[in-house]
Amino acid sequence: MARNNRQTKEPRTNRYRLALVDDTTHEHIWTLRFTRWTFFLTLLSIITVLLAGAMSLVAFTPLRTFIPGYPDAHTRRAAMQNAITIDSLEHVITRWEFYSENLRRVMEGEDPVRIDSVIRSHAEAEINPLSHDYLIQQDSLLRQTVREAEQFGLSGAQVRRLPIEGMHFFVPMKGVVSRGFEAVVHPYIDVTAPQGSVVMAVLDGTVVQAGWSDAYGYTVVIQHADDILSVYRHNQKLLKKEGDKVTAGSSIALVGNAGTQAQDSHLHFELWYRGEAVDPVKYIAF
C-alpha cells in the first residue's frame, strides 16, 4: 500500500503525440512524440535559426540598402560632393573676409595687403629659371624641414628596422608618371590621374602636416617608421588631419590641380628616406 502511495506522489511527465494518419486505412504514416519542454526548446531553436538567417541576409547582401536610413553608394557620393562644395564655400568666405579686412585698412588709412601681388610674385619666383646655387640652397632648406618633421619619430628602439629596398609600399594612386625624379631640380615625381581620384597612404604612419599652400594646394605629409617620410601635394580635398594615424592603402586625399604650380590634375609625390629624397619609381610600381 505504501509503495502505491509513493508511485502516486511521483511527478508525472505529460507526453504528447502528433500523428499523420491515412483517413481511409487508418494507417499511421508519420508520428512525432514530444513533451512540453522539448516542444518549447524546438520552437526556440527554430526562431533563433530564422533570426540568424535574416540578420545574415541583411548584413552580407545588398538587401541592407533597403533599410530606411542606410547609406547607399549614391548617398556616399552625395555626401562627398557636399563636403567638397562646403570646402569651396569656405574658401569664398575666407576671400571675402580678406577683402573686408583690406577695406577696413583703407578706411582707417592703413596700407592694404594685396593678395594678387603676393601670389603673382610667388608664381614668378617658381616659374623663372633658377640658378644652381639657389636650387642647392632650397634643397638644403627642404632637407632641414624633413629632419625637423622626423622629430615625430614613430619607430622605437625595439622596432625591427628594414632597409627601404626590403619594404612593401602601397601604390599611392594608379596613374601615369608624367615627369620623373631629378635629384636637384625635381626631387619628386608627378603622377597624372583624373581629378577626384583617391590618394592613398603608401605605409602605416602618422599625419604630421595637412594644410593648404598657394604653390602646392592641399598637402599631406606622413611620417612612417624606419625614417621614411611621404609627401602628397596638389590635392583638391584632404581626408585626414594632423595627428591622424593612417594605415597602408587608406584614403588620405582627393587629387586635383590645386596650387599655382599645377597646370593639370596630377599628384606631386615625394619619398624621403633618412633625410634624403629618393626616386619613388624604384620602390613602387605605378
Of these ranges, 51-65, 145-159, 202-216, the one predicted with the greatest mean pLDDT is 202-216
CATH architecture, domain 132-282:
Distorted Sandwich (2.70)
- The answer on pLDDT for 251 being more than 50 is yes
- The answer on pLDDT for 2 being more than 70 is no
67 CB contacts (<8 Å, ≥6 apart)? Answer: 58
pLDDT of residue 56: 84
Three-state DSSP at 171 gives: coil
Q: Are 200 and 250 in contact (CB under 8 A)?
A: yes
Which helix (H) or strand (E) element contains residue 119?
A: helix 115-127
Of these ranges, 90-94, 130-134, 270-274, the one predicted with the greatest mean pLDDT is 270-274
- The answer on pLDDT for 246 being more than 90 is yes
- The answer on pLDDT for 29 being more than 90 is no
pLDDT of residue 163: 74
Where are the chain's structural domains? 13-65, 75-113, 132-282
- The answer on pLDDT for 111 being more than 80 is no
- The answer on pLDDT for 146 being more than 80 is no
Residue 147 vs residues 72, 190, 232: alpha-carbon distances, Å: 44, 23, 17
- CA angle 233–194–209, rounded 5-degree value: 20
